[in-house]
Amino acid sequence: MIDLSRIQTIGIAGAGTMGTGIAQVCLQAGYKVILFDLNPHMLTKAKQSIEKGFDKLVEKGKISAEASQKAFSQIVFTEDILQVKAELVIEAIIEKLEIKHSFFKQMAEINGPSCILASNTSSIPMTQIAAQIPHPERVLGIHFFNPAPVMKLVEIIAGVATNPQIALLCKELINGMGKTCVMAKDAPGFIVNRVARHFYVESLKALEENIATYEDMDELLEASGFKMGPFKLMDLIGVDTNFSVTSSMYQLFHQDSKFRPSRIQQQKVDAGQHGRKTGKGFYSYE
């Protein structure tokens, strides 16, 4: 018997686009949330973003103003990692294995062995993440997609050591938030990022080879039925985030050429043109 009542508070690490979106989803579902980030500026932006998200829900009549205020009152924004005490912690931090290891080791010390530790990683196998964490049976992947409050799909990824009952509990928990969960095998990129990687990589290769402009490729693919072309989608996700996932998968697949990161995308990242969040990516949003 799966007991969802054991989860009352959800800790979220990383107040970037994904962490902020996940926090809003959890608040809407009635959970207490602790949003942690070392950068106070990111926490301020996250607070403004979540407030704006709830305002839109009120405007559309999806929730009442009272329900919005009650939900927002359930979140704590903090720069102090010692305050991240919860039954479930979801990290949405940088896509680097050593940093994730360091964070989860601290969470294990702060929260003890009963706390479920979940990663929102886009590409790193959960078995690698869990390998150095005490009680790896409570470590798994809960992979939301951007924008988290809108996108229905969530991948649940169990590592080799993950307790199947914990994976099922998390699946039921996330389904209860109005999402659609799929159980993915523990392989680089899981399902969606492995399949979708070539949507971006091949488009970037075509751009490098001057086969077409990025505007034309977006227009053609949208005319073919895609809701958003690859370059508009990279700007929405974050050019830096997309590049990080591609680079990670390139290494995890032993430099398989089909996952080779793009020089053009690397230049965008180096120039700080990360898409909508910076005001400029492939397109300008200023």
Active site residue 193: yes
Q: Which of 123, 155, 262, 274 is catalytic?
A: 155
Q: Which contacts qualify for 259-267: CB closer than 8 Å, 24 or more apart?
A: 259/197, 259/201, 260/201, 262/201, 262/204, 262/205, 262/207, 262/208, 263/208, 264/204, 264/207, 264/208, 265/204, 265/234, 265/239
Catalytic residue of the set 143, 242, 247, 274: 143
Rounded Cα–Cα distance for residues 51 and 49 (Å): 5
- Buried b / exposed e along 215-239 (16+ C-beta atoms within 10 A): eebbeebeeeeeeebbbbbbbbbbb
**Which of the residues 111, 119, 122, 248 is marked catalytic?**
122
Catalytic, 155? Answer: yes
Active site residue 203: no
Q: What secondary structure letter does DSSP report for 262? A: P
Say which of 193, 242, 247, 248 is annotated catalytic: 193
Q: Distance between CA atoms of 23 and 148, rounded to whole angstroms?
A: 9
Tokens of 41: 């500026």
Cα–Cα dist 274/270, whole Å: 9
Nearest alpha carbon to residue 80 among 120, 35, 115 = 35
Can you tell me which residue has the tokens 């470590």?
Answer: 139
Is 122 catalytic? The answer is yes
Residue 129 to residue 197: CA distance in whole angstroms: 21
Strand runs (DSSP E) across the chain, as ranges?
Answer: 9-13, 32-36, 75-78, 88-91, 116-119, 139-144, 153-158, 180-184
Q: Which tokens belong to 51?
A: 């407030």
- What is the spatial distance between Cα 192 and Cα 200, in angstroms, rounded to a whole number? 12
- 139, β-bridge pairs: 117
User: Catalytic amino acids?
Assistant: 122, 143, 155, 193
